[in-house]
Structure 1
Amino acid sequence: MNNMVLVITGAAGSGKTTLCKYLCEHYHLPKVVTHTTRAPRTGEQNGVDYYFENDASFARKHFLESVHYAGAQYGSSMEGLQAAWQKAPLACIVLDTKGAVEYLKQLGNQVAVLFLTIDVGPNSSEALRKRMEARGDDPVKIKMRVKSAEYARDQQLPSALVGHAVVIKNNELKQAKQQADQFIEQLLAKLQ
């Protein structure tokens, strides 16, 4: 089989970045570095966590998908994906649900999707907000994000991903990792 990309998607605060980091470290998967015009969070490094861009440099990239979200632009380039594939046949990327749908449209069977959610009853949205606060997000930006249409959209698996995505409830990270391990082992077996 050709190269593949594992797309991890779901609501803000659902643990996408944490799970991607775990899978990249545990399975030596290269992370597809994406681009953003937002300011770096504490500890983030250019070219590692994101390529931090300004509006002009962002406009010059060749994107598979891009989105304007919470006052900033985000996108992933074909060049970034190719660079990851030069390191290994299975790469990992974190995208919003719209980006995941776009990847599936453009890359077809080269895409595997994990959709993360949390299920703590009627307070799931509050739990996600607390996770964003705990990771150091700006409280004003959290309020903007929670009120956005994109945030509401990313709460549920899009119909275009039904049948293509594996859903993992990330209430407890250890269990989520175990489910992701099973999925990755199946993908790696396909690539051999």
Structure 2
Amino acid sequence: MNTATGQLYIVSAPSGAGKSSLLQALRAHLPGVDVAVSHTTRQPRPGEQDGVHYHFTTVKAFQQQIAADAFLEYAQVFDNFYGTSKQAVNGVLAAGHDVILEIDWQGAQLVRQRAPDAVSIFILPPSVAALQERLQGRGQDSEAIIQRRMRDAQSDMAHYPEYDYLIINDDFETAVAELGSIFRSQRLQRERQTQRHAALLDALVTS
């Protein structure tokens, strides 16, 4: 019986680096991986669903949850708040699933303090020009917002040395394979394998 707890992952990237697409492709090929659904005070974008992409909430309700210490991490990004529920993450980990936190470097610093065993991954674009092209290709933001995101992206990318792993999203399929190799190698660590195959290991060494 699988009694192993899941592994907590932090995945960060500047806006436009392709993080969400990479994680979607990873989950399509690797079972037992969940992405924590964050709470946010920003308005939904076209096509986003409450409880699927984010838990959309008000500033007042978000502040009440901060006061109740309900978040594993929270931060203000641009003009909005984002946070990750401690209860939700712990429940998924206890069920044996890996959990991904899609958070920025500020949130990552907070999570490392509370969960030092978390594995952190930073995703970078292949160039500044590629990043700007991807942001413009979304067709969702004005040029002023894109330029602000570019300035913030350069500030964000300066924090890559704080992470355990670094992936350059140049060729998409290569980046997905590299991301999957991190998750698979973590699952093969002796401690997790011992939890997962306790009965087998006991039989092998005592028979």
Interval containing the TM-score (normalised by the shorter chain)? 0.7 to 0.9
Displacement of 1:90 in angstroms is 1.1
Relative to 1, partners in 2 of residues 1:65 and 1:153: Cα closer, same or farther, differing over 3 Å? farther
* Partner residue in 1 for 2:78: 70
Counterpart check, 1:92 vs 2:94: no
Displacement of 1:2 in angstroms is 4.5
TM-score by length of 2: 0.78
Q: Is the 8 A contact 2:12 2:105 kept in 1?
A: yes
Point out where structure 2 has 5 or more consecutive residues left out of the alignment: 194-207
Find the aligned partners of 2:47 and 2:96 in 1 and give their Cα distance: 26
- Max Rg structure: 2
* Counterpart residue type for residue 145 of structure 1: R
Displacement of 1:16 in angstroms is 1.4
Q: Is the 8 A contact 1:37 1:74 kept in 2?
A: yes
Q: How much is the aligned-residue C-alpha RMSD, in angstroms?
A: 2.0
Q: Deviations over 1:49-86 (max 9, x none)?
A: 11011101211321222121121111112123124325
Find the aligned partners of 2:170 and 2:24 in 1 and give their Cα distance: 17
Q: Is the 8 A contact 1:40 1:52 kept in 2?
A: yes
Q: Deviations over 1:134-164 (max 9, x none)?
A: 334322433333344xx33311334443xxx
- Percentage of pairs with the same residue: 24
**Count of residues paired in the alignment:** 182
Q: Is the 8 A contact 1:66 1:75 kept in 2?
A: yes
Point out where structure 1 has 5 or more consecutive residues left out of the alignment: none
Q: Is the 8 A contact 2:34 2:97 kept in 1?
A: no
Find the aligned partners of 1:160 and 1:166 in 2 and give their Cα distance: 9
* Counterpart residue type for residue 181 of structure 1: G
* Partner residue in 1 for 2:121: 114
Which 4+ stretches in 1 moved above 6 angstroms? Answer: none
Displacement of 1:44 in angstroms is 1.1
Find the aligned partners of 1:54 and 1:86 in 2 and give their Cα distance: 29
* Partner residue in 2 for 1:19: 22
Q: Deviations over 1:79-120 (max 9, x none)?
A: 2312432553311121111212221221011x1111101223
